[in-house]
A = this chain, B = another copy of it.
Amino acid sequence: MIDELRQERPLVVCITNDVVKPFTANGLLALGASPIMSGESDEAADILKHAGALLLNIGTCTKEKLPLYEEMARCANNYNIPVVLDPVGYGASAFRKNFTDKLLGNYDIALVKGNAGEIHALSGQKTLSKGVDNVTEGNTVEIAKTAYDVLKVPVLVTGETDAYADGNLTKTMHNGHEYLEVITGSGCVLGAVTASFLALENQPESIEYAVSLYNIAAEKAAQYAEGPGTFSVKLIDEIYNFKTDDYKTKKVKVHE
């Protein structure tokens, strides 16, 4: 699937937070996708016209940006392009909750992804998180399934174990490295990588592939890392150098 992505070079519109823009753009370029970022709703239709997917990441959002997110979502829906929604810090403020709920309520979302605390809160559960970090691992499978039941949108819960649920299918993905928790934007970049594969084909296999590729690249990067600084640099290298053969080390369980 990585060869197909590098061939097709899907344009992925990333409306994402201020903290992770460089890392996200570099992650997608290393992968072989073509990222574009924008802050202007007036260009939503133009840039989404050629796009394969849209990422909406709500970290560092403001109320002034809600029309941007809505117009991007509206155009993506019009063009029938998959939308990945990453509700960063959902449990951290009423503002982020309302912002996310509007997007979830009014637009077709192909995938909601977040850490356990965010998705737990998104299901209407009392959040256990403070801030944007993941403070509860919990049972990611249960959190994913519950969130799907509430939202009726495919859900990816990231953590030491990543869990996917869409009503028909529940899967866990077991690759990765703990350094991912110590760098900013590792989850945000995964959201963008997932959007890139959904641009090829909007199906659960794309998500499994994206998550496993990213986590395998992380495992390889960690071998050469001496801390989270070198790790994040090597992670970009390993995404770039990822070969189809590397995918053989994926660890995925189908649950039902």
Q: Which residues of A contact B (CB under 8 A)?
A: 9, 11, 17-23, 25-26, 29-30, 34-40, 42-43, 46-47, 50-51, 59-63, 89, 92-96, 130-133, 182-185, 225-230, 232-241
Contacts and interface: CB of A to CB of B under 8 A. Distances in A.
A38 B228 CA distance: 23
A25 B17 CA distance: 12
A96 to B, nearest CB: 7
B40 A92 contact: no
A29 B186 CA distance: 12
A21 B60 CA distance: 11
B40 A18 contact: no
A240 to B, nearest CB: 4
B93 A46 contact: yes
A17 B18 CA distance: 10
B40 A62 contact: yes
A80 to B, nearest CB: 17
Contact of A182 (B29, B39, B132): B29
A112 to B, nearest CB: 20
Contacts of A21: 18-19
13 contacts: A11-B130, A22-B23, A29-B182, A29-B183, A34-B133, A37-B60, A40-B61, A40-B95, A227-B241, A228-B236, A229-B236, A230-B233, A230-B237
Give me the 7 closest cross-chain CB pairs, A-B, nearest first.
Answer: A227-B237, A229-B236, A43-B93, A46-B93, A25-B184, A43-B95, A50-B130
Nearest to A91: B46
Given A131-B50, A240-B227, A26 B232 contact: yes
A233 B236 CA distance: 11
Nearest to A181: B29
Nearest to A182: B29
Contacts of A36: 89, 92, 131-132
Contact of A30 (B39, B51, B95, B228): B228
A225 B21 CA distance: 22
